[in-house]
Amino acid sequence: MSRNLFQRFLATISLVLLHGQIIGLVTFASNGKKLYSSMWRKIYIISVLCIYLAFATFCIYTIPGVTDVPSVYKYSSYIIQVANALYAVTVCFSSIITTKKYIKLLQKIIDFDVQLQTTCVIIDNNRTKKRTIFHLLGRYIVIVLLNVYYHWSIERSEFSEKMGEVSAFFLTIFSSAVCYQAIELVWVLQTRFIILNKQINTLVASSAMPIATTDTKQPRKIFTTLCKICTLHHHLSKCVKLFNEVFGVVLLNMFAVSFVVIVHCLFYTSIALQRSIVNWAEVIYTATSSLNFIVDSIFVCHVCYTTIEAVDKTGELIHRIETEDNDTIAEIEMFSLQIANEELEFSGAVLSRDNFTKVYDLIFSLIRFDAAPE
């Protein structure tokens, strides 16, 4: 049963892992029985990174050759290229360093599914697989459409400008891949927290039903089921902490680069709008250049936020169980204390519930700042 669940789970997230392997975010493979660290994938990642760094260095080298461009544009190009290079280096080396933890995270999720199946609950993997497909297709459709528009709306005469556009395209693909992988894994965890909440809801409904005086088994069933849910919830909590260790630094860098890109795009947009003759094609181009980064930042925060909401909801639901059984009452108190002590949050990237609105505040404050009249 364990091996069957292992294969089913890997089949569910196979697209996520394959996409990560192509981009250079996943450094392990599967032989059908277990996950193992792959030296060839690590060599592939380092090779791709070296090629990108060589390309980024070439782009930086060509920036001074751009004519009829104010110095501020050149300096901002330096900042973008350096930020991109640091982002790529950090993510790639983080992927290599955290390989064992990533494998452990996936193995723990599989172990959770094995334990969950003992309670006669089966996860709908087909639905998850369809979501991963549509999610990835949606991302690339948007990226391709935006880049086609950029190519036809703005004519680039300078060679260095064309190289800069190519570099920006690769950055968009890379950052999108990072967010895609993180979002899908958070969704996997969120789905399992929701399943546990549904089981607790069943217990709440069962405890509210009148119990016959001769029925002594129902309170015991509630207690036994609650103990299993408590164990599974603690298991998932460890998965969240492992996720922070694997993706915390990566997402933190993603937010940093997104911030740099968004600020630059808003700055260029404000300059374009203040010209005597407004080139609306250029305005739309600069305004939408950071669209992927804005959406991804909000998307990641939203998924993490809703997952923590599901965790908090567990604490509320267990107190709705009506019982006079002392063992069940003690288990509810212990479960509640466990949730409170764990204080789950996606802390690696500062994505706790309290910080979720800060992303919106940051984006809209930047918009208000750039749109404010002089």
Which range has highest mean pLDDT (62-76, 149-163, 274-288)?
Answer: 274-288
pLDDT confidence bin for 210, thresholds 50/70/90: low
Q: Residue range 241-265: average pLDDT?
A: 87
pLDDT for 372? 43
Local confidence band at 46 (pLDDT 50, 70, 90 cut-offs): very high
pLDDT for 355:
47
Q: What is the mean pLDDT of the chain?
A: 81
Contacts of 39 (CB under 8 A, 6+ apart): none
Q: Which of 15-19, 97-101, 315-319 has the lowest mean pLDDT?
A: 315-319
* Cα dihedral across residues 58, 60, 63, 65: positive or negative: negative
- In the Cβ-directed half-sphere of 42, how many Cα atoms lie within 13 Å? 13
Q: What is the pLDDT of residues 355-366, one digit of tens each?
A: 444 554 554 555
Q: Is 25 helix (H, G, I), strand (E, B) or coil?
A: coil
% of the chain surpassing 70 pLDDT: 83
Q: How far apart are the first and last CA of the chain?
A: 68
Q: Which residue has the tokens 């929701």?
A: 194
pTM of the model: 0.85
Choose between 336 and 349: higher pLDDT: 336
Judge whether residue 53 has pLDDT over 50. Answer: yes
Is 326's pLDDT higher than 80?
yes
pLDDT tens profile 164-177:
677 778 888 899 99
pLDDT at 271 over 50: yes
Q: Categorize the per-residue pLDDT at 206 as very low, low, confident or very high, splitting at 50, 70 and 90.
A: confident
Q: Which residue has the higher pLDDT, 18 or 157?
A: 18
Partners of residue 36 on adjacent β-strands? 29
Helix axes 159-208, 125-153, angle to 10 degrees: 150
pLDDT, one tens digit per residue, over 119-136 is: 767 777 788 888 899 999
DSSP result, 104-161:
HHHHHHHHHHHHHHTTT----HHHHHHHHHHHHHHHHHHHHHHHHHHHHHS---SHHH
Place of tokens 């809703």: 306
